[in-house]
Structure 1
Amino acid sequence: MSRVVEFTEYGGPEVLKIVDVVVPEPAADEVRIAVKAIGLNRAESMWRHGNYVEPVLLPARLGYEVSGYVDAVGADVTGFFVGDQVTTVPAFSQNDYGMYGELVLAPASAVIRHAEPLPHAEATTLWNVFITPYGALLEDGTMKKGDNVLIPAASSGIGLGTIQIVNAGGGVSIALTRTSAKREQLLAAGAAHVIATEEQDLVAEVMRITDGKGADIVFDPVGGPTFAKLISASAPGATLFLYGALSDEPTSLPLLEIIPKKPIIRGYNLFELTTDRKRLEAATSYILAGVANGTFKPTIARTFAFDDIVEAHRHLEKNQHFGKIVVSV
């Protein structure tokens, strides 16, 4: 038996319930994991609301990222042994697997073995945080040395990971945050510049920082009405990634600027990388090397107990945390 989190209706954090289930032996391509820590993602909040990039089938499980120990392996699975420390990466549908639980099944293709063990709370904050910007900015060389990169929602887990990825690739990280309350924290986290978008003129500040050129790349998880300002703050031919939809408002496009500037607007999803084994191996090797030498360090905003999963999701949706929220199991 295992305690897991599920929901039978869409809604706020209160729809999440901890229930007892029987976790079967792993199938031929699965690994069973005794979970020690869970990393929360905004995608899981959207999933809980039934507002995601794929239909959510009720009753539903949820969760992409955990750290723990291998409890059992399927017959055809190689490279994993009982007792190995492992983590999971977002590389599957939450209709098929949900990682919020004490004992869970995961597809072997989404499991990473840690040759050098890490504290579980830290290990479960690595992949979404760093693979997301790595795949967009570094993997195919989109970002060049010296490129100015705008990072909206910079105090989120992925935002902080993006600052570090940009810095590692020789770019100039320009962190966007609503107020100046987190300015010093963002500078301490490595941001070259910080703009408080509710207190400063976003476009004017970007132009000042870039000597009138504008941003070369925008890595945006928000969309909504501010996206038009991001285009205005971009250089001609800039690449703007949309990898999330945190805003509930329509995303407008300033056509009279798009026509002469000819920006590249790209939707981005880390699954295109994480579901390709060779690309995933290259990404995780790069990130683990960066963790080992101190280049990459995830930031844990707050840790909740497993029994407090509802409160953890409430905290997630306040959008006031700095870093990644972790649940201890």
Structure 2
Amino acid sequence: MKRRHFAALTTVALAAPLALAQERSTRILIGFPPGGSADVVARLLADKMRVSLGHNVIVDNKPGASGRLALAETKRAAPDGSTLIFSPSGALVIHPWLYQNLGYDTVKDFTPISLASTFDFAVTAGPGAPPGDLKTVLAWMKANPGKANYATSGAGTVPHFAGLLLSQAAGVPMTHVAYRGGAPAAQDLIGGQVPLMVDTAVETIEHHRAGKVRILAVTGAQRSRALPDVPTLKESGIDITADAFFGLYGPPGMAPELVQRIDRAVADALRAPEIQERIYNLGLVPARAGPAELAAIQAAHLKRWETPIKASGFKAE
């Protein structure tokens, strides 16, 4: 009887840590609605990270204020790995130059964990623009200033300023039309309400493949693997590049050992061929970097955007 009792107690004792591990979960916040590129990539990674971390990983959309609400919540979270944020770089490197009172410092108030993807943007024409290449559409816009509009997923975003750089470099004044997300912008592009759109390729790539819109150029230094027949802006005669990244961050004060563990889980996920292929198909590029390198990349992007944003005179409300 004693041996059976001891065995039962031992089984309970061994099962307790396992139960606690199963009960624990990591929540990855997304500051934008479901269906966008950040949301899709985060869910791809979360599915694999569950295996590496040994507990549930949940993607939680907290849209609002162009990602600022989710960042503020992350800053306030406990540094125990239970709350993280998967953020596009714009919220981290553009917003500091736009808002006087963000409520957080994008460098000091977050712990860089992993770079997961880099990406550029697609310049897409809809049925409201004439047929032809980018030069043809820009020439039409110059001749029709009342129709020279470009849509993006929101004011104060990287696509907003990428479009501004395009307008300046081409010598074609264009009016920015800001939407609350890439999906509604794409719908108006398809409907002919706006002739041009600048945003992540994920918003228009399937419509491009279906022939509803035409991706005229990408803003990166190289052609997109998902769009090999689409030229870059430089190949189209516009001497600018604009790119961005997705990174996983945590609240301030996370233990280095915990950061390394989560970073390894992201690295494991990115090594999976099916994950890489899915990311490429979205028009993005899977990219691997740890905490220190992610911090350096963020700092470089922060510096890069300072001058054009200040020169634009744009201030967020």
TM-score, structure 2 normalization: 0.32
Q: Point out the structure with max Rg over C-alpha.
A: 2
Relative contact order: is structure 1 or structure 2 higher (C-alpha 8 Å, sep ≥ 6)? Answer: 2
**Which structure shows the bigger proportion of residues in helix conformation?**
2
Whose strand fraction is larger, Structure 1's or Structure 2's?
A: 1
Give the structure-1-normalised TM-score. Answer: 0.31
